[in-house]
């Protein structure tokens, strides 16, 4: 279990059990790496490896052959570094904010440069240190989120000196709709990327995220950047059952009760029992990554019995309808399944009106975390 919480507390006394299957994680990495070969597969381990815990995830992926790791922020790079051997590279997707350059250079982190300003800052750092510094250049090919704009791209192409003292390892862009294989935005971003490759010839391409891996090889380039597919999310309408689930979550019952027809349940009294019901209150709520939007929509499972969430999800608990189970089946400390064989991460996300990325990165640290 995670020693940061409750190291002296019996695991059974913790509010829930979050199990991370590192074997499935590594299998997913291998599946993706084989699929893109001869292109290389990196791993996106931002946001504490999507909430799974970078201290466990990064060494497992390194052992599986992964040598390139992407984080979002400089502080994440610093946190990741101790878990990786020297030959691993750490790339920072958002690039650097002013003042972070010397720290990044000293630790060998490679920024993704997203604007002429970030390029100039990194170049000044290289010049002040009297050496060449590595970088990735990111271009906006139609998402309008981050990366060099078409105008900045032209300035750069016409002024090669702006890149002197920099060793550009990859040209990069990010796909906005790669999870939808038929979305025309994929082709249009690909066409823009083709023009960029022609403007900056001879530099390798870092392109697809998880969804992009399930498009064709034009979306792979030389290096792909999967995140969600490593962690068991469904990355594409084309991925079928290629990706194995990695995370399962069970939550403990803290109380059971019987209520009669007409009883109000939960904050706001929004749910009114239509008949006599038996209820269980379980020890996880929106502060544990189960969004309030699951109120009256989501469910837990016990075996193959669906136990609907009734009333509003609270911060630290929620109430489920256990009328379908024989009386006495659930008692104080029983575990019910929230993510597992009967209910996928995707199904929880759909019920909550969100995406698997948001659920995973919200699960946080109040559960007993087990790595197998």
Which residues form the catalytic set?
46, 267
Q: What angle do CA 359, 365, 367 make, to 5 degrees?
A: 90
315 is in an annotated binding site: yes
Residue nearest to ligand PLP (CB): 227
Considering only 22, 32, 44, 88, the residue that binds ligand PLP (CB under 6 A) is 44
Residue 78 token pair = 């610093």
* Of 225, 252, 278, 369, the one binding ligand PLP by CB under 6 A: 225
Instruction: Report H helices in 214-272.
Output: none
Q: Which of these ranges, 59-67, 125-133, 225-233, 323-331, lies near ligand PLP under the rule CB under 6 A?
A: 225-233
- Is 145 among the annotated ligand-binding positions? yes
Min dist CB 114 to ligand PLP, Å, is 10
Mapping DSSP to helix (H, G, I), strand (E, B) and coil, where does residue 123 land? helix
- C-alpha torsion 142→145→148→152, nearest 10: 80
Q: Residues 204 to 223: which contact ligand PLP by CB under 6 A?
A: 209-211
Cβ of residue 68: shortest distance to ligand PLP, in angstroms? 12
Tell me: does residue 322 bind ligand PLP (CB under 6 A).
Answer: no
For the CB of residue 355, give the shortest distance to ligand PLP in the complex, in Å.
Answer: 9
Buried b (16+ CB within 10 A) or exposed e, 147-173: bbeeebbeebeeeeeebebbebbbbbb
Q: Write down the least CB distance from residue 54 to ligand PLP, Å.
A: 14
Q: Is the omega angle on the peptide bond into residue 218 within 30 degrees of 0, that is, cis?
A: no
**Concatenated DSSP letters of 278-310:** EEEEES--GGGT--GGGTTT-EEEETTEEEEB-
Q: Shortest approach of ligand PLP to residue 50 CB, angstroms?
A: 7
Work out whether 174 is an interface residue with ligand PLP (CB under 6 A).
yes
Quick one: which of 145, 187, 193, 136 has its CA closest to 166? 136
Nearer to ligand PLP, 226 or 266 (CB): 226
Q: Are 189 and 145 in contact (CB under 8 A)?
A: no
Backbone angles phi, psi at 92, to 5 degrees: -115, 110
Verify binding: residue 43, ligand PLP, rule CB under 6 A.
no
Nearest alpha carbon to residue 65 among 99, 109, 29, 23 = 29
Q: Which is nearer to ligand PLP, 174 or 369 (CB)?
A: 174
SS3 sequence of 160-200: HHHHCCEEEEEEECCCCCCCCCCCHHHHHHHHHHHHHHHHC
DSSP strands (E only) in 46-88: 68-71
According to CB under 6 A, which residues from 227 to 246 bind ligand PLP? Answer: 227-229, 235
Task: Select 105 or 206, whichever has its Cβ closest to ligand PLP.
Answer: 206
**Placement of tokens 């038996």 in the chain:** 278
Nearer to ligand PLP, 209 or 295 (CB): 209
Contact map string, positions 85 to 104, toward ligand PLP, x by CB under 6 A: --------x-----------
Nearer to ligand PLP, 135 or 309 (CB): 135
118 binds ligand PLP (CB under 6 A): no
| 254-261 contacts, C-beta under 8 A, 24 or more apart | 254/281, 254/282, 254/283, 254/317, 254/332, 255/280, 255/281, 255/332, 256/280, 256/281, 256/322, 256/330, 256/331, 256/332, 257/281
Q: How many residues form the binding site for ligand PLP (CB under 6 A)?
A: 13
CB 285 to ligand PLP: min, Å: 26
| x/- track of binding to ligand PLP for residues 266-305 (CB under 6 A) | ----------------------------------------
Cβ 123 to ligand PLP, closest distance in Å?
22
**Residue 226 touching ligand PLP (CB under 6 A):** yes
Which residues are near ligand PLP by CB under 6 A?
Answer: 44, 46, 93, 174, 209-211, 225-229, 235
Q: Which residues are annotated as a binding site for substrate?
A: 145, 315
Q: Which residues are annotated as a binding site?
A: 145, 315
């Amino acid at each position: 279990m995670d020693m940061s919480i409750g190291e002296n507390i019996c695991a059974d006394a913790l509010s829930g059990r979050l199990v991370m299957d590192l074997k499935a994680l590594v299998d997913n990495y291998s599946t993706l790496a084989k699929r893109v070969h001869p292109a290389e597969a990196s791993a996106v381990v931002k946001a504490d490896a999507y909430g799974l815990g970078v201290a466990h995830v990064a060494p497992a992926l390194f052992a599986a052959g992964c040598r390139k790791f992407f984080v979002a922020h400089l502080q994440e790079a610093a946190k990741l570094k101790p878990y990786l051997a020297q030959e691993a590279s750490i790339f920072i997707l958002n690039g650097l904010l002013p003042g972070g350059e010397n720290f990044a250079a000293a630790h060998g982190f490679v920024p993704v440069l997203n604007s002429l300003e970030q390029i100039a800052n990194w170049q000044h750092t290289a010049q002040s240190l009297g050496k060449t510094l590595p970088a990735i250049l990111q271009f906006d090919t139609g998402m309008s989120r981050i990366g060099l704009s078409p105008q900045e791209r032209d300035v750069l192409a016409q002024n090669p000196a702006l890149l002197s003292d920099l060793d550009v390892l990859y040209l990069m862009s990010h796909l906005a709709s790669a999870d939808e294989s038929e979305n025309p935005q994929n082709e249009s971003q690909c066409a823009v990327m083709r023009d960029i490759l022609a403007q900056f010839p001879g530099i390798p391409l870092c392109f697809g995220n998880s969804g992009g891996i399930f498009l064709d090889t034009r979306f792979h380039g030389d290096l792909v950047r999967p995140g969600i597919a490593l962690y068991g999310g469904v990355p594409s309408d084309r991925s079928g059952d290629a990706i194995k689930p990695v995370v399962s979550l069970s939550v403990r019952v803290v109380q059971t009760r019987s209520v009669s027809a007409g009883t109000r349940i939960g904050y706001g009294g929004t749910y009114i029992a239509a008949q006599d019901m038996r209820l269980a209150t379980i020890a996880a709520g929106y502060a544990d990554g189960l969004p309030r939007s699951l109120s009256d929509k989501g469910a837990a499972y016990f075996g193959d019995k669906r136990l609907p969430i009734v009333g509003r999800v609270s911060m630290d608990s929620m109430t489920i309808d256990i009328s379908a189970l024989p009386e006495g089946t659930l008692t104080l400390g029983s575990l019910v399944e929230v993510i597992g064989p009967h209910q996928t991460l995707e199904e929880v996300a759909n019920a909550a009106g969100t995406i698997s990325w948001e659920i995973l990165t919200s699960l946080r640290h109040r559960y007993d975390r087990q790595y197998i």
